Amino acid sequence: MLSFYSHSQISNMRGVHGFVFDDCTANPIEGIKVCAFNHSTNRNDCTVTDSDGKYHIPIYTSGIWITVTTNNQSENIFNYPGFAFVNFDIVSPVDYMRVVNCATGESKLIYSTDFSTRPTIISCEKWDLKFDTDYNQYGPYDYFYTVRSFFPWGGNTVLRQWSIGCDNPNNPPESINCAGIDLTEKLRGLPNAVYQITLVKACCDRGDGDFPRQITSGLVTWQNSESPVVDFKFLASFEIEDLNGENDNNGMIDFISDSRPGPLLGDISSGFNGSFTTGNNISNYNVKIEGVNCEGQIVLETVYNENFQPDATGKLPDNFLFAANVKDANGTPLFLSKRGECFKFTLSATNACGTDSKSSYFKITESCMYCMDAPDKNPIAQQVHKIFSESNNTDIESAQGISLEFPTINDRQEVPTSIYPNPADDQLYIRSSVLQSWDIYNSSGQHILQGTDRNIHVNSLQKGLYLIDIKTVQGSKILKFVKQ
């Protein structure tokens, strides 16, 4: 807070003289602009205070009104033989608050209430708050901070308060090497919203009462954000779900695998659903597909590696079709020529808090070429059918010289019936596209279990040799397996 004292004095060099000093400490303030407007000559003369806080503006006429202005505050004085005094308080030059990103050094002012310029404070980043002023060297002062909810129509509520007193070793609250006020911690726990931060700067020796003070206020946007946790599921036709022992017909494979070969995927129906990934404000995600050896640990080639922007809400896609994105040099969906081959799929997501990734192996099936449901059976089938029917570059019929048909659940190709793993420990899986039921018998012919699910829990069985009778629409098939 500054006080301004001015007087006019009759002399051969008439003029306005005065001082500007800090009202809290009585220290002079250098560089303050002071103007005197002569109403008779319609002339405005200005000067700045020197190192002693003094100013002098010559006025060569008398008996006139003069308006003295400092920092947008003014007072009229009448110049006549003798003395005319003016003594009033003025607001000090505008002091700002500033936030500094401790990791990047990015610095932003928060004095503005303009929504378009307010800084965003993210919970996983350390932002320090400093008082951006030229006058702290004349301090110290009392600093009182308040965080309020912000509504343009009013009704703001005080949510957080703190102060830095005159005897605080961090006074003035400069943000030097990010050792000042940790604004992130002050806001932590509040919901995502716009908040108003207010600073009251007061004299140390006046107490918490009626004393000169300056109020600075501004807006920040607070966002709770954590590092992303990537999760996904592969897209699949109902036919491909059957191949993987799933019969919920949700259009997805419900498991991923970090060992080869992983789930079986269709050559034209595959893709991924990334909406299971958590973490808001995701700025980028990456899709990487590598060709691998189905038996060993050898990466043969990277067939796809692209970065994408999430949607407007920062979410990853729930339908990312490989047929529409992963193509060969001729523009044909790549996996049409990769049947029986193995791949490693990796999905990565990044936001301001970090990066996470998750991988799974998969194999393009040979058992069911062009496995795809009828377009009216599955929304994924609708999209794939549209891709191939509307794009000349990706038309399967012209590219492969075949007539593409979308089999229904009743006329689809029979998949050879098999079981895995064998020997089995906890679970045994039946691979069949048209399974009806199964029965398990021990080596003595005694009936042990029965069911219709492709995933069979065998952990309750004793170790030994068993027979499983698998019934499909095509007939019955008996296979042996070992419970270990």
pLDDT tens digits for 287-311? 999 999 987 667 888 999 999 988 8
Give CB contacts under 8 A, 24+ apart, made by 72-76.
Answer: 73/4, 75/6
Q: Are residues 243 and 302 in the same domain?
A: yes
Task: Indicate if 59 and 37 belong to the same structural domain.
Answer: yes
User: Cα angle at 317 between 312 and 320, to 5 degrees?
Assistant: 140
State the pLDDT at residue 345: 96
pLDDT per residue over 427-482, tens digit each? Answer: 888 877 677 888 998 877 788 999 888 888 888 899 888 888 888 877 788 888 88
Q: What is the mean pLDDT of the chain?
A: 76
Query: What per-residue confidence (pLDDT) applies to 112?
Result: 62
Number of domains in the chain: 4
User: Do residues 272 and 377 both lie within one domain?
Assistant: yes
Quick one: 172 and 242 in the same domain?
no
Is residue 409 one of the residues assigned to a domain?
A: no
Boundaries of domain holding 381: 233-400
Is the pLDDT at 347 greater than 90? The verdict is yes
Query: 132 or 30, which is more confident?
Result: 30
Interval 201-227: pLDDT, tens = 777 765 544 454 567 888 899 988 888
Percent of the chain exceeding pLDDT 70 equals 70
Report the SS3 class of residue 228.
coil
Contact (Cβ atoms closer than 8 angstroms) between residue 449 and residue 440: yes
Lowest-confidence segment of 95-109, 121-135, 204-218, 355-369 by average pLDDT: 204-218
Say how many CA atoms lie within 13 Å of 223 toward its Cβ: 18
Burial state string for 331-360 with b = 16 or more CB within 10 A and e = fewer than 16: ebbbbbebbebbbbbebbbbbbbebbebbb
pLDDT bracket for residue 355 (50, 70, 90): very high
Kindly state whether residue 26 falls inside one of the protein's structural domains: yes
Determine phi and psi for 434, rounding to 5 degrees. -130, 45
- How much is the pLDDT for 82? 45
> Per mean pLDDT, which range of 11-15, 61-65, 245-249, 350-354 is the poorest?
11-15
Residue 180 predicted with pLDDT over 70: yes
CB 21 within 8 A of CB 28: yes
Evaluate whether residue 228 is within a structural domain.
no
Which residues lie across from 477 on neighbouring strands? 470
Looking up residue 136, the CATH number of its domain turns out to be 2.60.40
| Cα distance between residue 455 and residue 459, in whole Å | 12
Q: Among 66, 90, 114, which residue terminates a domain?
A: 90
Q: Look at residue 402 and tell me whether its pLDDT is greater than 60.
A: no
Q: Are both 276 and 353 inside the same structural domain?
A: yes
Bigger pLDDT: 131 or 128? 128
Split at pLDDT 50, 70, 90, the class of 187 is very high
Q: Which of 203, 65, 56, 77 is nearest to 141 (CA)?
A: 203
- The reported pTM is 0.51
> Is residue 282 predicted with pLDDT exceeding 60?
yes
Q: Which own/partner contact pairs does 150-153 have at CB distance under 8 Å and 24+ positions apart? A: 150/193, 150/194, 150/195, 150/196, 150/219
Q: Report residue 71's pLDDT band, with 50, 70 and 90 as the boundaries.
A: low
| pLDDT above 70 for 132 | no
User: What pLDDT sits at residue 74?
Assistant: 64
